[in-house]
Structure 1
Amino acid sequence: MPVTLDADAAAVYKAFQEAGRPAYETLTPAEARAYYLAARLVTNPEPPPLADVRDLGIPAPHGAIPARLYRPHPVRLVGGLAPALVFFHGGGWVIGNLESHDVVCRTLAQAGELIVISIDYRLAPEHKFPAAVDDAVTATQWVADSAASLGIDATRLSVGGDSAGGNLAAVVAISARDGQGPALAGQVLIYPATDFAMAHPSHSEPETSVLLTHSVIRWFRDHYLTGAADIHDWRASPAKAETLIGLPPAYVLTAGADPLRDEGDEYARRLQEAGVPVTHRNFPGQFHGFFTMGKLLQQANVAANDIGAWLKQTI
């Protein structure tokens, strides 16, 4: 389908091209992580001040999973407890960490007037699939089990994430429905990766290969998965789940110039067909990754406020 970038998105894309931005697939994972982290200084807005920001360690069989709690003011309390969003950062399961998405988590906490807990799950290729899934499931269960001590209302617990993090949030929601986690009140899927078959038209259209290019997606996939069989495992491709019936209400965001656009659109549609309440927001003139670029792209701030309003209404 034809894609025309918004004027500000086109300007940002041009600036990245003129800056000689290296393609991630030409870098080692360690180099890509450093470059991705440095880019946040250019693209992230100023971090909003919050009432409390503190680091946590979540017990796991392999050692503590780093996490960070964000508590805004005001926060919506019922019986002295707040709703919460367990957040998984994007980065293709290879790059990204607590710092890369610090401003995003602060912004969502403020916009939704709720506690956000960001999870620093293990990355590939050092820790291949399903290590990130295992950490996401473990962390979500721990937050539910520790809810009272964290000031969280366990009945108003949701999950969310962008890109690879949206994939993990979708997988955690399915796992929790099937008894491997707590009951969830919502899921926020920001341009999620849902199908590693990569057969949707947006995976081959030239207009969608913007910043997140078709070749870098394959680079992420090859680092994350252990082999072709993993493509069909619903824990890697949540669209492969036997059914989506019984999942919590979903907010799904997609972008027009995004290789993941069509699989995100289809996942939102299939959730609706399964009887799940869905709010689907498409940003046709934006590219994959725009949500973290609120310093440069006003639509990122529009999206954050929209998600915050949805969270207030839903949980």
Structure 2
Amino acid sequence: MTLAAPVRAFLDGALREPLDFLTLEEQRQFMRHLSDLNYLRYGRRPDPVASVVDHAVPTGAGPVRVREYRPSTGRPLPAHIFLHGGGWWLGAVDELVNDAMCRYRCLRAGCAVLAIDYPLAPRHPFPAAVDAAHAVLSHVIGNPGMWDIDPGSVSVGGVSAGANLVAALALKCRAEGGPHTILQLLEVPVLDLTRWCAPGAPDPDRHHADELIAAVNRYLDGPDPSGPTAGTDPVARGGERVRERARAPLASPLAAPDLSGLPPAHIMTAEMDPLRVDGELYARRLAEAGVAVTLRPCPGAIHGVSFLTRVWPPARQWQRSAAEAVRRAHERTGGAPHRGKGAPPWPTQ
């Protein structure tokens, strides 16, 4: 399929030069600036919401920042937990693309959105992010009065690596008997890390494959050597330790032998994304396990579709679909979504 002009322009401007002469923190700072610049260039301007407040939630590994968005004040609302992307080692709740998604979803789904600034690899390797997300979810559902939310109407969603964490969180909640959620929203999910543990990963874009392999190694293998990473080959790192961890269901949810009893799922895939097959296979396996699942593919879309909401109509439709899936899930479980003052009408398509 021929890429749409805005999608091609976005890809043509993507960084191709390696950053291995920078320290890990310098790479993070550079990629954060690049992400924000890309969103300013291609993304829809953020929506005003009633309130945005940061909280520090206690976990076993220390406090985790949670940013709360509300479409209105003064009433218990359904809640949506959001986990950002970034290959498990990049990203933050206040990155522009993530902030815009949370604001949009808050208004269109009529719920409180709680974005988790989960601990990042390699300093906090697998399963630290999954454990932190579970601790935050348990705290929110266990203290509904503190959060002013309906504990029986809580959904969870994530993008890319964040979607991996969402699927893992659903498995962890099932194994530990709770807490219970009403929806797992998986956007461009990466669900089989075993494919990215060694050279020769199945991606025609070698640069993209190398980036994902390096991210998986950071997530599963722990801290890089101190100092600049010059001279290290991210594709060669890992070894058997990484491959063994990649086979764990909380790292690769597709490796779970049984997917029954999980929350309903709404899975969104991009046609031009090599991770598309993960979402398709997971949807099939969930359905075979008796889990209610919808699969929404987006023709012509790339993995970074969330950046294109100002310049490409299908990217806006993607966000409408995600918000509507959350809203409908809350309505089915008796939640009472609230539009908030000045919010646009509910999505109709």
Length-normalised TM-score, structure 1:
0.89
Residue of structure 1 equivalent to 2:347: none
Residue of structure 2 equivalent to 1:215: 210
Displacement of 1:25 after TM fit? 6.1
Name which of 127, 133, 137 aligns with 1:140. 137
CA contact (8 A) 1:25 1:216 kept: no
CA deviations 1:110-129 (Å, max 9, x no partner) are 12111110001111111111
Moved more, 171-180 or 59-68: 171-180
CA deviations 1:116-151 (Å, max 9, x no partner) are 100011111111111111111111111111222211
Do the aligned partners of residues 168 and 25 (structure 1) sit closer, same or farther apart at CA in structure 2, a change above 3 Å counting? Answer: farther
Residue of structure 1 equivalent to 2:53: 54
CA deviations 1:271-291 (Å, max 9, x no partner) are 111111112111131111212
CA contact (8 A) 1:190 1:252 kept: yes
CA contact (8 A) 1:244 1:270 kept: yes
Inter-partner Cα distance in structure 2 for 1:311 and 1:183: 15
- Count of aligned positions: 301
Question: Which amino acid letter does the alignment assign opposite residue 268 of structure 1?
Answer: A
Name which of 276, 299, 302 aligns with 1:261. 276
Do the aligned partners of residues 180 and 124 (structure 1) sit closer, same or farther apart at CA in structure 2, a change above 3 Å counting? Answer: farther
CA contact (8 A) 1:32 1:95 kept: no
CA contact (8 A) 1:23 1:216 kept: no
Q: Do residues 245 (structure 1) and 260 (structure 2) align?
A: yes
Inter-partner Cα distance in structure 2 for 1:24 and 1:159: 33
Q: Do residues 293 (structure 1) and 308 (structure 2) align?
A: yes
Name which of 54, 78, 98 aligns with 1:83. 78
Classify the secondary structure of the residue corresponding to 2:52. Answer: strand
CA contact (8 A) 1:158 1:187 kept: yes
Residue of structure 2 equivalent to 1:183: 180
Inter-partner Cα distance in structure 1 for 2:130 and 2:59: 13
Inter-partner Cα distance in structure 1 for 2:156 and 2:104: 16
Length-normalised TM-score, structure 2:
0.81
Residue of structure 1 equivalent to 2:37: 41
Q: Do residues 12 (structure 1) and 43 (structure 2) align?
A: no
Question: Which amino acid letter does the alignment assign opposite residue 240 of structure 1?
Answer: A
Residue of structure 1 equivalent to 2:333: none
Q: Do residues 152 (structure 1) and 167 (structure 2) align?
A: no
Moved more, 304-313 or 21-30: 21-30
CA deviations 1:70-99 (Å, max 9, x no partner) are 0014x9x9xx42111111110000000111
Do the aligned partners of residues 293 and 147 (structure 1) sit closer, same or farther apart at CA in structure 2, a change above 3 Å counting? Answer: farther
Taking only the aligned residue pairs, the percentage that are identical comes to 35
Inter-partner Cα distance in structure 2 for 1:288 and 1:25: 23
CA contact (8 A) 2:203 2:209 kept: no
Question: Which amino acid letter does the alignment assign opposite residue 82 of structure 1?
Answer: L
Larger-gyration structure (1/2) = 2
Residue of structure 1 equivalent to 2:225: none
Question: Which amino acid letter does the alignment assign opposite residue 2 of structure 2?
Answer: T
CA deviations 1:184-241 (Å, max 9, x no partner) are 1101000111111117xx95242xx39x811100010111102221011011001111
Inter-partner Cα distance in structure 1 for 2:176 and 2:52: 31
Inter-partner Cα distance in structure 1 for 2:219 and 2:103: 28
Residues 224-235 of structure 1: pairs in structure 2 closer than 5 A: 224-226=219-221, 227-235=242-250
Do the aligned partners of residues 234 and 111 (structure 1) sit closer, same or farther apart at CA in structure 2, a change above 3 Å counting? Answer: same
Classify the secondary structure of the residue corresponding to 1:259. Answer: coil
Residue of structure 2 equivalent to 1:32: 27
Structure 1 portions without partners, runs of 5+? none
CA contact (8 A) 1:157 1:185 kept: yes
Structure 2 portions without partners, runs of 5+? 222-241, 331-349
Inter-partner Cα distance in structure 1 for 2:18 and 2:271: 21
Residue of structure 1 equivalent to 2:295: 280
Do the aligned partners of residues 104 and 22 (structure 1) sit closer, same or farther apart at CA in structure 2, a change above 3 Å counting? Answer: farther
CA deviations 1:32-81 (Å, max 9, x no partner) are 322332222332321100001100111012221011000014x9x9xx42
Classify the secondary structure of the residue corresponding to 1:287. Answer: coil
Do the aligned partners of residues 266 and 27 (structure 1) sit closer, same or farther apart at CA in structure 2, a change above 3 Å counting? Answer: farther
Residue of structure 2 equivalent to 1:103: 100
